[in-house]
């Protein structure tokens, strides 16, 4: 990443546009996950899509996947606003067609429309942002954006536009709809890398806006905390495995925003270490989240592929039936919960470290966002452990809860191998994070504009701590291995037998008597019911001896329900009077054409 930026410029007939690509440290960093995840997803898709061969044309699925990969590449390379917006739009549209791959399902079509509307509302903000930037600079090339008026307003536009793509609360509502609806390898690409283009865009725009102001950092901290906490809480309340993972993307985007926010506050406080560690943590988390989220979505795809259900409470006991998927899912679950010695811990550690330093060295006012970040991260971490013990424990452990789970089979090589590669990546970054952090200097420098000697010094300090963490990781593995060995030695000469699980003397426990995911999460969803508004329906408990009883709980997205639905409803009401114009009668449309032609003619004459 230390190499000088390379650029390629070609003429383009579009007004104000130029085919101007520029590869600098920031672009290069985002290209790594884009290429890696897209390649692995494509490998995975070869086997995953076979099941649809009879029913569907796979050509469009492959076409749009390639188009999505290409457009994401152009998005992070583009150095001209027109080119950027064209690539951005191509990215949104190609992913829209991928989301609606199974368009025979009504829920998929609805998810697709939600996604399409949301991405275009987001794109509108970006259009305004770039027009404003272009107006004050006379060019739409990124390297001409030097004069900026009203940086705060531009920051808010970028926040809304890129935040919609990234999935900041409350602009995330499309995310839990669209990601689960897509085929699993597409969910992986979307959740792991596509939403990161929102983070990339935000960082790129920050480099245009001149000195960063403290309130930007505060805003990002608030957004990060609410996305993080709400994302993980909503994930906890889900019954659908892919929907749960999609909400975790909201949570992790929140952690990234929190890191950037802490970094900006650090810059404005004049605390270089806080800034450097905050930004480094946020960016490393971009890469880390790409690895483990892609891994988890691909594994969720393996499960759906063989069991034909994503309902967590219908699964169970899959670890014995799908060992490869199980092990990799466990690695992904531990990594996303931020547990040592895996990669998720390293990036969260950096953000924690930045907040601790900031809390220690600044006054009461400056330390407030730092302390909020600390306690928020701690809460998010605890809830993530709860959520992923639920996801892994109920899906992979215990006994199968349904016929389908009972007959689950491990997926083939092309669907397991990508997971193994990603899991290895999680372990590798977990144990060698210090090297990655040291190499991030040019990246941090391009965003923070701090002196490179200062950045090098602070990164070295952070890397030193991370080296210790890695050392502890190695020791942890060694001590655990020694203890396991000692136990094997000790048990070698003693009777070791198996028996049914202890159920207080009841000797034939059945799989239906196991704890369910909903029950597992209930204490937490009940504690946070103010935020979640879970609806519970208990039926059939009427007579003295009730025969059939049922329980059903459902957690809607509160923002969808209480914020966006009312807005959409009122827009619908206001625009209802336009409806008579669109009736589907060809004669009427011919009339419109004639009338407008006449109008144009008359206007020309006059």
Partner 1 sequence: MISGSVVPLIVALAGAPLMQGVIIRTKSVIAGRTGQPLMQPYRDLWKLLHKGAVYSQTTSWIFRIGPVVGLASLLLALALMPFGGFPALSAFSGDVILLAYLMALGRFLTVLAALDTGSSFEGMGASREVTFSALAEPALFLSLAALARETGRISIGPLLTAVSWSVWAHAAPMLGLTLAALVIVFLAENARIPVDDPATHLELTMIHEVMVLDHGGPDFAMIQYGATLKMWLFATIIVAVAAPWHSGNRWIDTAIGLAGMLILAIATGVIESSMARLRLLRVPQLLLVAIVLSALAVAL
Return the ∠ at Cα 509 (arms to 506 and 511), rounded to 5°. Answer: 165
- DSSP state letters, 443-454: HHHHHH---HHH
**Window 497-536: residues binding partner 1 (CB under 8 A):** 497-504, 509, 511, 513-515, 519-524, 527
Rounded Cα distance between 290 and 292, Å, is: 6
Q: Residue written as tokens 């890129």?
A: 162
Of the residues 14, 39, 131, 480, which one makes contact with partner 1 according to CB under 8 A: 480
Among 217, 369, 381, 442, interactor with partner 1 by CB under 8 A: 381
Q: Is 402 in the site for partner 1 (CB under 8 A)?
A: no
DSSP labels, 300-358: HHHHHHHHS--BGGG---HHHH-HHHHHHHHHHHHHHTT-TTSHHHHHHHHHHHHHHHH
Q: CB 483 → partner 1: shortest distance, Å?
A: 5
**C-beta separation of 267 from 212 below 8 A:** yes
N- to C-terminal Cα separation, the chain: 63
Instruction: List the interface residues with partner 1, window 342-361 (CB under 8 A).
Output: 345, 349, 352-353, 356-357, 359-361
Beta bridge partners of 19: 10
Instruction: For residue 490, state whether it binds partner 1 (rule: CB under 8 A).
Output: yes
Say if CB 129 and CB 81 are below 8 A apart.
no
Q: List binders of partner 1 among 326-345 (CB under 8 A).
A: 330, 334, 337-340, 345
Question: Cβ 57 to partner 1, closest distance in Å?
Answer: 41
Strand segments, DSSP code E, in 332-429 are none
Residue 9 sits at φ, ψ, to 5 deg, of: -130, 130
8, 320, 460, 571: which one contacts partner 1 (CB under 8 A)?
320
**Which 110-129 residues touch partner 1, going by CB under 8 A?**
none
Tell the smallest beta-carbon distance from residue 289 to partner 1 (Å). Answer: 17
Instruction: Please give the size of the binding site for partner 1, defined by CB under 8 A.
Output: 81
E-strand stretches of 11-62: 19-23
Which stretch in 32-40, 215-223, 298-306, 495-503 sits in contact with partner 1 by CB under 8 A?
Answer: 495-503
Out of 3, 14, 117, 378, the only residue in the binding site for partner 1 (CB under 8 A) is 378
> Quick check: 392 binds partner 1 (CB under 8 A)?
yes
Sort strands 535-539 and 19-23 into parallel, antiparallel or unpaired: unpaired
Based on the shown chain and the rule CB under 8 A, indicate whether residue 258 belongs to the binding site for partner 1.
no
Cα four-point dihedral sign 30, 35, 41, 44 = negative
Rounded to a whole number of angstroms, the minimum distance from the CB of residue 336 to partner 1 is: 11
Q: What is the DSSP letter of 370?
A: H
591 lies in the binding site for partner 1 (CB under 8 A): no
Of 128 and 379, CB closest to partner 1 = 379
Query: In DSSP terms, which residues pair with 550 in a beta bridge?
Result: 539
The distance of closest approach from Cβ of residue 71 to partner 1 in the complex, given in angstroms and rounded to an integer, is: 38
Contact with partner 1 (CB under 8 A) among 215, 413, 457, 472 = 472
For residue 387, give the nearest of 534, 252, 517 by alpha carbon.
517
Q: Is 460 in the site for partner 1 (CB under 8 A)?
A: no
Identify which of residues 499 and 576 has a Cβ nearer to partner 1 in the complex: 499
Least separation in angstroms between CB 409 and partner 1: 17
Give the nearest distance from C-beta 351 to partner 1 in angstroms: 10
Q: Shortest approach of partner 1 to residue 236 CB, angstroms?
A: 10
DSSP-assigned letters across all residues of 88-132: HHHHHHHHHHHHGGGTTSHHHHHHHHHHHHHHHHHHHHHHHHHHH
CA distance linking residue 123 with residue 237, whole number of Å: 31
Can you say how many angstroms the Cα of residue 267 is from the centroid of all Cα atoms in its chain?
26
Smaller CB distance to partner 1: residue 87 or 463? Answer: 463
Q: CB of residue 358 vs partner 1: minimum separation in angstroms?
A: 10
Which one, 73 or 226, has the nearer CB to partner 1?
A: 226
Choice between 480 and 538, CB closer to partner 1? 480
Tokens of 33: 């996950």
Compare residues 38 and 394 and give the one whose CB is closer to partner 1. 394
Kindly tell me which residue out of 11, 59, 364, 578 binds partner 1, with binding defined by CB under 8 A: 364
Least Å distance, CB 361 to partner 1, is: 8
Within 46-65, the residues that bind partner 1 by CB under 8 A are: none
Distances (CA, A) of 405 to 231, 312, 331, 398, 400: 28, 10, 21, 11, 5
Closest distance of CB 221 from partner 1, Å: 15
Gap between the Cα atoms of 234 and 555, Å rounded: 8
Return the range that interacts with partner 1 (CB under 8 A); candidates 4-12, 207-215, 496-504, 547-555: 496-504
How far lies 515's CA from each of 18, 234, 400, 520, 585, in Å? 60, 20, 12, 7, 58
- Calculate the CA dihedral of residues 114, 220, 452, 1 and round it to 10 degrees: -20
- Asked if 272 touches partner 1 (CB under 8 A), the answer is no
Which stretch in 138-146, 194-202, 391-399, 407-415 sits in contact with partner 1 by CB under 8 A?
391-399
């Amino acid at each position: 990443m230390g190499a000088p930026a390379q650029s390629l410029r070609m003429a383009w007939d579009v007004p104000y546009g130029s085919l101007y690509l520029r590869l600098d440290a920031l672009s290069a960093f985002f290209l790594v996950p884009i290429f890696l995840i897209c390649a692995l997803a494509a490998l995975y898709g070869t086997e995953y899509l076979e099941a649809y061969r009879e029913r569907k044309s796979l050509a469009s699925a492959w076409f749009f996947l390639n188009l999505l990969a290409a457009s994401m590449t152009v998005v992070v390379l583009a150095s001209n606003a027109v080119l950027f917006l064209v690539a951005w739009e191509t990215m949104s549209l190609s992913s829209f067609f991928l989301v609606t791959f199974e368009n025979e399902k009504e829920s998929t079509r609805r998810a697709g429309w939600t996604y399409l509307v949301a991405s275009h509302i987001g794109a509108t903000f970006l259009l305004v942002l770039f027009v404003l930037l272009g107006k004050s600079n006379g060019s739409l090339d990124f390297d001409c954006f030097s004069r900026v008026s009203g940086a705060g307003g531009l920051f808010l536009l970028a926040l809304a536009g890129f935040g919609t793509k990234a999935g900041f609360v409350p602009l995330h509502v499309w995310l839990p709809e669209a990601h689960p609806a897509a085929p699993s390898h597409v969910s992986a690409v979307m959740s792991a890398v596509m939403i990161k283009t929102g983070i990339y865009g935000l960082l790129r725009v920050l480099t245009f806006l001149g000195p960063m102001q403290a309130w930007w950092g505060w805003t990002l901290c608030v957004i990060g905390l609410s996305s993080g906490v709400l994302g993980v809480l909503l994930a906890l309340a889900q019954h659908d495995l892919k929907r749960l993972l999609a909400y975790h993307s909201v949570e992790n985007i929140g952690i990234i925003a929190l890191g950037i926010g802490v970094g900006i506050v650090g810059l404005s406080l004049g605390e270089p270490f806080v800034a450097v560690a905050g930004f480094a943590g946020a960016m490393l988390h971009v890469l880390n989240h790409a690895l483990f989220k892609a891994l988890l979505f691909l594994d969720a795809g393996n499960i759906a592929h063989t069991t034909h259900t994503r309902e967590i409470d219908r699964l169970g006991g899959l670890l014995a039936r799908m060992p490869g998927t199980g092990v990799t899912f466990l690695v992904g679950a531990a990594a996303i919960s931020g547990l040592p010695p895996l990669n998720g811990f390293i990036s969260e550690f950096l953000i924690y470290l930045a907040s601790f330093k900031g809390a220690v060295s600044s006054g009461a006012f400056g330390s407030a966002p730092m302390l909020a970040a600390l306690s928020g991260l701690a809460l998010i971490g605890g809830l993530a452990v709860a959520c992923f013990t639920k996801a892994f424990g109920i899906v992979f452990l215990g006994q199968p809860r349904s016929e389908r789970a009972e007959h689950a089979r491990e997926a083939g090589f092309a669907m397991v191998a990508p997971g193994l590669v990603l899991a290895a990546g999680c372990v590798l970054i977990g144990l060698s994070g210090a090297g990655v952090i040291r190499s991030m200097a040019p990246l941090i420098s391009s965003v923070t504009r701090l002196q490179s000697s200062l950045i090098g010094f602070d990164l070295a300090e952070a890397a030193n701590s991370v080296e210790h963490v890695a050392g502890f990781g190695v020791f942890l593995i060694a001590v655990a291995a020694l203890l396991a060995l000692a136990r094997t030695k000790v048990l070698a000469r003693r009777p070791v037998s198996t028996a049914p699980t202890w159920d207080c003397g009841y000797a034939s426990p059945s799989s239906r008597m196991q704890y369910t995911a909903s029950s597992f999460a209930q204490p937490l969803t009940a504690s946070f019911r103010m935020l979640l508004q879970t609806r519970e329906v208990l039926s059939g408990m009427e007579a003295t001896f009730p025969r059939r009883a049922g329980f059903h709980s459902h957690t809607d997205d509160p923002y969808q329900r209480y914020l966006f639905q009312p807005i959409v409803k009122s827009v619908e009401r206001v625009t209802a009077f336009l409806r008579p114009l669109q009736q589907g009668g060809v004669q009427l449309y011919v009339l419109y054409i004639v009338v407008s032609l006449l109008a144009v003619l008359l206007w020309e004459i006059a």
